[in-house]
């Protein structure tokens, strides 16, 4: 096969793979600019834009440009660079919003509340007076329960 044909075949295969992964992905469409977003940050690896259904004022999402579903599916490099994006976005938001703190959250897997199957990190700025509470159930673990978890993890 001529070199050019081989290259074209390889290219179309690459596109098919990309299409299969991303054709219906709303965040891929936002990354590609096919769906509008209030994007306020971009680097080589991630974009950040406002969540349209915010848990608090200026709730934002940091989204890698490359499609992968979870922290487990991304390579260490992709995940690491995505977290550098989170750090930059958090610093930017702190400077601009003068917020007092953040909730930084990943919903991983449907059972954990992941609706969009393109990895993303929620960055929710918090203010002293915002009266928002993200509080897990008040539950003091027994020694047996801690041991059971610890024995599985160590």
- Residues 39 and 54: their CA atoms lie apart, in Å, by 15
The listed partner (Zn ion, ligand AMP, none) that binds 118, CB under 5 to 8 Å by sort, is Zn ion
Q: Which of 140, 146, 123 is nearest to 59 (CA)?
A: 123
Q: Are residues 56 and 125 in contact, defined by beta-carbon separation less than 8 angstroms? A: yes
Does 103 bind ligand AMP (CB under 6 A)? Our answer is no
> How many angstroms separate the most distant Cα atoms in the chain?
69
Residues 68-97 that bind ligand AMP (CB under 6 A): none
The listed partner (Zn ion, ligand AMP, none) that binds 28, CB under 5 to 8 Å by sort, is Zn ion
Does 109 bind ligand AMP (CB under 6 A)? Our answer is no
Q: How many residues does the chain have?
A: 154
Does 67 bind Zn ion (CB under 5 A)? Our answer is yes
- The set of catalytic residues is 120
Residues near ligand AMP (CB under 6 A) are: 26, 35, 37, 51-53, 61, 107, 113-116
């Amino acid at each position: 096969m001529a070199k050019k044909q081989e290259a074209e075949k390889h290219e179309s295969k690459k596109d098919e793979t990309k299409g299969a992964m991303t054709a219906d992905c709303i965040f891929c469409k936002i990354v590609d600019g096919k769906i509008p977003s209030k994007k306020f940050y971009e680097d080589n690896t991630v974009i950040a834009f406002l969540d349209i259904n915010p848990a608090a004022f200026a709730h934002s999402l940091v989204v890698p440009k490359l499609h992968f579903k979870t922290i487990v599916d991304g390579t260490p490099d992709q995940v690491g660079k995505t977290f550098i994006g989170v750090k930059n976005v958090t610093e930017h938001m702190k400077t601009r919003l003068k917020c007092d703190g953040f909730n930084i959250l990943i919903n991983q897997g449907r059972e954990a509340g992941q609706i969009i199957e393109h990895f993303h990190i929620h960055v929710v700025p918090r203010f002293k007076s915002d009266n928002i509470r993200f509080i897990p159930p008040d539950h003091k673990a027994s020694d047996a329960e801690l041991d059971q978890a610890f024995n599985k993890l160590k």
